[in-house]
Amino acid sequence: MSAWLRRQQLLSLGMSVAFGRTTGDVGMMSLVMLTIFAGQQFTMKSLAGSVLLVLSGGFLQTALSVVFWPVRRYVPERRALAGLYTELGRTATDPVRPDEQPPATIHASQAQEALRSLRSDNSEESERYQSLLNQAERARLCVIALLQMQAQLNRNGQQSNGKEVLSRFLILVGRALAAIGKSLLDGAEQAPLDQQIAHVNEWIEQSRSKAPFLENVMSNRILFQMDALAGQLRAAEVLVTGPAPLRAALERPSPLPSWRFSPNSVWATLRANLSLQSAVFRHAVRLTICLTIANIIARATGWRHAYWIPMTVVLLLRPDFAGTFSRGLQRIAGTIVGLVIATALFHFLPETVGIQAALIGICVFLLRWLGPANYGFFAIGVTAAIVLIARANWRRAEAAHPTPGHRYVDWRHPRSVGLRPLANVGARGGCSGRAVGGIPGLL
């Protein structure tokens, strides 16, 4: 009965990706914690202590994340919008490639995710940033349409005047979009942005005066998209630098999806994904099967820390094959590089508490800074941090309970303490549980 309930729980947590990235991340972390605690033997006292440690770590991380929120309330949203506008400015001058995803797709998704929490915020600043996102998405569609028209003109080998007009316009648009991004990011002065918008408007008026350019339907379509894009730029300029009454007069964007679902919407989402035609349902089934097999292998090995086997399955398995394959390769490469870096740090740096604390802090900073961009960097930071923490814990345990005849690592030889501690933590066991008790709390 307990095994059946566990499989149903795994299937339910696998279905959490149907409700968005945030819900999927919460489901993944729940599976990670469930895997770690299910793979260890606890008394009620030790279980309560471990739970309190995990909760304390979560509350501490939350407090550090929101400590500057009152004075820098909308900085993450501004940074995401600035990245979107800057990327749009860069791609406006790049030729469109049919084998690649549309320009600024990742940045648009990140901006939407960053502003998702503002749906219930009715303040003027919140509405301004949501309107800026709305204008950026419309401008992105215009840029994509103009890039496709430019590619069509290049393939036809005609309308040289039209190609010149369009190429120059896209260059000016790229500069204007970059100026908007810079103004959002660091509060740049209004004058450079006004100049870039004015150059765009002047070039459109000059293009209208070119009679040969207005002879066919393609030219009219290009001018229509140029006018539309110039309007989006002017609206974004007003939102970035204009007074409040002008901002309030602009169209309010459609509300973004919220993580607050009504029971009806939850049931509708689940019902839509409860079939083998749904990628979400297939991912949940694969996750359930793979975790069941991983748990059987972990229990059969009898290793003390065999929970690393099912935990790796949770961290690596993605709804799509490409994501799973690339994540697996990045995990392998990142683990090896992290072990090599940790070994080099042990060899060349003195063994003091201050240096070890600084190295752990640097590793955590790097995994939080570069980890969201690439899972390989996340694996490097996590591996190095875990090895550093394991070394510190083993040293403390050795000092409190010296057992020279039964140690896995000889601390008198620095070259022996890089790769071996993590191997012991990962699977082989045999070391003091007191020495590695902090690793599950870290994860």
Q: For 42-92, write each residue's pLDDT tens digit.
A: 788 888 888 898 889 888 888 887 777 777 778 888 888 999 999 998 888
Torsion from C-alpha of 351, 304, 308, 276, nearest 10 degrees: -170
Mean pLDDT (whole number) for 150-163: 70
Contact 185, 78 (CB under 8 A): yes
- Band (116; pLDDT cuts 50, 70, 90): confident
Q: Which residue has the higher pLDDT, 19 or 411?
A: 19
Mean pLDDT (whole number) for 174-202: 82
Highest mean pLDDT among 171-180, 299-308, 389-398 belongs to 171-180
Highest mean pLDDT among 66-70, 113-117, 240-244 belongs to 113-117
DSSP string, 242-306: S-HHHHHHSPPPPPPP-S---HHHHHHHHHHH-STT-HHHHHHHHHHHHHHHHHHHHHHH--TTT
pLDDT (0 to 100) of residue 105: 83
pLDDT (0 to 100) of residue 388: 85
Highest mean pLDDT among 112-121, 139-148, 153-162 belongs to 139-148
Contact 150, 170 (CB under 8 A): yes
pLDDT (0 to 100) of residue 336: 92
Highest mean pLDDT among 55-59, 318-322, 347-351 belongs to 55-59
Question: pLDDT above 70 covers what percent of the chain?
Answer: 73
pLDDT (0 to 100) of residue 163: 76
SS3 at position 189: coil
Contact 313, 54 (CB under 8 A): no
pLDDT (0 to 100) of residue 277: 82
Burial-class residue 423 by CB neighbours within 10 Å (0-12, 13-18, 19+): exposed
- Band (251; pLDDT cuts 50, 70, 90): very low
- Band (397; pLDDT cuts 50, 70, 90): low
- Band (264; pLDDT cuts 50, 70, 90): low
Asked whether residue 425 carries a pLDDT value surpassing 80, the answer given is no
Of 236-245, 288-297, 301-310, the one with minimum mean pLDDT is 236-245
pLDDT (0 to 100) of residue 415: 42
Asked whether residue 395 carries a pLDDT value surpassing 70, the answer given is no
Mean pLDDT (whole number) for 342-353: 83
pLDDT (0 to 100) of residue 285: 85
Q: Please give the mean pLDDT across all residues of the chain.
A: 75
